[in-house]
Amino acid sequence: MLLRLDHMVGDEALTIATQPQYTNAAGNTYAVEHLRYFLSDIVLHSADQQSLTLADTHYVDVEEGIGLEIPVGEEGEGSWTQLSFVFGLSPQHNTDGAFESNPEALMVWPELMGGGYHFMKFEGRFINDDNDNVGFALHAGALNGGEYHSPMSYDLVIESGSTEAVMLLPIIIDIDRFFEEPNELDLNDYYLTGIMNDPVAQLILHENCHDVFSVGSIEEVPQ
């Protein structure tokens, strides 16, 4: 069995591009050039209180195709009723020096802003209020120790083990949702300064993360 991360914008598969083509809730026309992030504490849970940790930390780079699948392995054969993970790094994993090699080490978060690592580097371009095509960077992290990581938990029904097929569980990441619900995030407010040193912006993005992820229906892929 494996988990597959499907990056979407609404109903469309995300296309990495430089030319703004998507429209967010604030009406910004935007493009995603780079999307890099960490998940942590990825755990399957069963009805009888068993749990299986799939990864303590997991790095994703959409543009480079890194980390788009999370293998479950043979010990994952069985029945599971819940999947939980953290978007970003849970505090126990967000420690200075935790990652010694690239690409993970390149996610380092400035010591002066609390240290540890970026939870996400979401970079792209958009058309600003002056009608200029400009770059933006939404960099999320535990600014000065802020609890901006997002624990997620999903009920599911997985019965695996007997089938000839590979069981595949899609995890959908809807990029548009970073910009909405409960807070409308307008890139005009942030593209000049970024958000790294802005606790209000970190909170806005953190709150919006609650429904960015969803779990799809299990698929069987013939071997």
Which residue ranges make up the site for Cu ion (CB under 5 A)?
139, 196
Closest residue to Cu ion, judged by C-beta, is 139
Q: How far is the CB of 159 from Cu ion (least distance, A)?
A: 42
Closer of 36 and 139 to Cu ion (Cβ): 139
In the complex, what is the shortest distance from the CB of residue 203 to Cu ion, in angstroms, rounded to a whole number? Answer: 16
Q: Which of 97, 82, 96, 85 is nearest to 37 (CA)?
A: 85
Give the shortest CB-118-to-Cu ion separation in angstroms. 5
* Nearer to Cu ion (CB atom), residue 80 or residue 178: 178
With respect to Cu ion, which residue has the nearer C-beta, 24 or 202? Answer: 202
Q: Where are the alpha helices (DSSP H) in the chain?
A: 199-208
CB of 141 to Cu ion, least distance (A): 7
The SS3 assignment for 200 reads helix
Grouping H, G, I as helix, E, B as strand and the rest as coil, residue 149 is coil
Question: Quick one: DSSP state of residue 14?
Answer: P
* Structure-token pair, residue 91: 């505090």
DSSP string over 115-138? -SBEEEEEEEEEE-TTS-EEEEEE
Output 58 or 139, the one with its CB closest to Cu ion.
139
